[in-house]
Amino acid sequence: MRFSHYIIMSQPAKPKNQKTFQAPRGTYDILPDEQIYWEKIYKTIKEVFLFYGFGRIDTPVIEDADLYVRATGETTDIVEKQMYLFKSKGGDSLALRPEFTPGVIRAYLEDGLSALVHPVKLYSWGPLFRYENPQTGRYRQFHQVNLEVIGSKAVANDAEVIQLFFVVFRELGLKAINLHINSIGCSECQPHYRKLLLGYYKNRADRLCADCRRRFRQNPLRLLDCKDEHCIQLMAGVPQMIDHLCEECHTHFKSVLEFLDELEIPYILNQSLVRGLDYYTKTVFEFWPDGEQARQGALGGGGRYDYLIKFLGGKDTPAVGGGIGVERLIAQLKFQAIKFHPLINPRVFLVQLGELARRRGFKIFEELRKANIAAAAAFSKDSIKTQLKLADRAEIKMALILGQQEVLDGTIIVRDMTTGAQETIKQDKLILVLKKRLAKKIINQ
């Protein structure tokens, strides 16, 4: 058999050990069906925060690693265990952003925000990165909404940050979210309390977990932040910080609780709450869902950090802030079976038949967008039956039918999908006719 006149086509050989790519462990893709939650949350926080006078700030996802070491604390879990560290080609030591506040304060000092009228109120939205064991509610890349009020020691700002998160929860339809709150004092009363803690744990230190034995030596306040069951049992008789606050911290905390009572925000006084970051002072708080969902962890939290800005090289400037995790917020929305309508809900469906109609259809579709009439179309489909089925499946009550003859005549057919009634109108009258019909439908509903 001779093959000289044939070209043999064959599939290329599959490479040996061909790699199948997957998202890195602890990360995930946000698919189109999920975007409705993200869009609704962002729309809600933007409307609420802008109304209350917060301006958006976006900081880089990479920063000098020393910024987090100094601000967050050398002995915190974030710095010791969870930061993604790398060297740039120029030899700089950089870190992927594990939290928002240090970067926002760096920008406040660097970009001249300290010269603005105070308090400076800022909000952020974006991804954070922490290397930890991935599990339900915990990811290595996750997203957070963040608030900061810089330049005020007023109790009202503590309450404002807490209230705004509860406003967001209510706007999204969430219920059964609990506020846990505590005061961890200031530089005046914390040293005395640390001595009390050391005295309490002195004869118990050998029974602590490895992390807590290190905390006992380096940062005893964080002994109260341990999640180890055995360490929690050892906390049973620990001295309570609230009983050892200085007069200023006691008055401040009492006033915060009075604000929450006035705002009708229920709270749980959690005297073991200290938060896991070294810069907090006075008020600290966390948001927890009820019941089984609490196992996934807090939705978020925050507190006052009156010494951080001076510690990073600025003037003595008080501040308060907080954040909520978007993934955990979405998990809670799903758990409570809260659903949202798409932000764009098509009211009309454009059907086009033939190449000439398809080309003209693109222009009409853009005219609908400019007129703020939400529309849908299937430009890749040829069959009128298929296109009308798609309109029906999407529960769209009005179809616009454009064929070759209509293009030549400058007309278009308006079809009522419920009754089947049709009317042919001039294309230059389409927007006016649609607005009248859609307005009438809204009134009749």
Find where tokens 């002072």 sit.
281
27: buried, middle or exposed (CB in 10 Å: 19+, 13-18, 0-12)?
A: middle
User: Going edge to edge, which strands form the sheet with 120-129?
Assistant: 55-56, 120-129, 141-150, 319-325, 300-304, 281-289, 177-183, 267-269
Q: How far is residue 225 from each of residues 77, 202, 222, 230, 406, measured CA to CA in Å?
A: 11, 18, 5, 13, 71
Map out the domains of the chain with their CATH numbers: 32-189+245-335 (3.30.930.10), 348-444 (3.40.50.800)
Low-confidence residues of the chain: pLDDT under 50: 1-9, 443, 445
DSSP-assigned letters across all residues of 395-437: T--EEEEE-HHHHHHTEEEEEETTT--EEEEEGGGHHHHHHHH
Question: Distance between CA atoms of 271 and 67, rounded to whole angstroms?
Answer: 30
pLDDT at 11: 53
pLDDT at 16: 67
Say if CB 181 and CB 267 are below 8 A apart.
yes
Model confidence over 319-336: pLDDT tens digits? 999 999 999 999 999 999
Residue type, 221: L
pLDDT at 441: 64
Distance, CA of 322 to chain centre: 12
Taking alpha carbons only, the member of 385, 381, 380, 397 closest to residue 345 is: 397
- pTM score, whole prediction: 0.86
* Residues 6+ positions from 201 with CB-CB distance below 8 Å: 208, 216, 220, 223, 234
Number of Cβ within 10 Å of residue 314's Cβ equals 15
Q: With the C-alpha atoms ordered 63, 67, 72, 75, is the resulting torsion angle positive or negative?
A: positive
pLDDT at 8: 41
Distance, CA of 30 to chain centre: 13
Question: Distance between CA atoms of 366 and 415, rounded to whole angstroms?
Answer: 20
pLDDT at 296: 74
Number of Cβ within 10 Å of residue 414's Cβ equals 18
Model confidence over 228-262: pLDDT tens digits? 888 888 888 888 989 999 999 999 999 999 999 99
Pairing verdict, β 398-402 and 348-352: parallel
pLDDT at 383: 93
Token pair belonging to 162: 């807490």
pLDDT at 15: 64
pLDDT at 344: 79
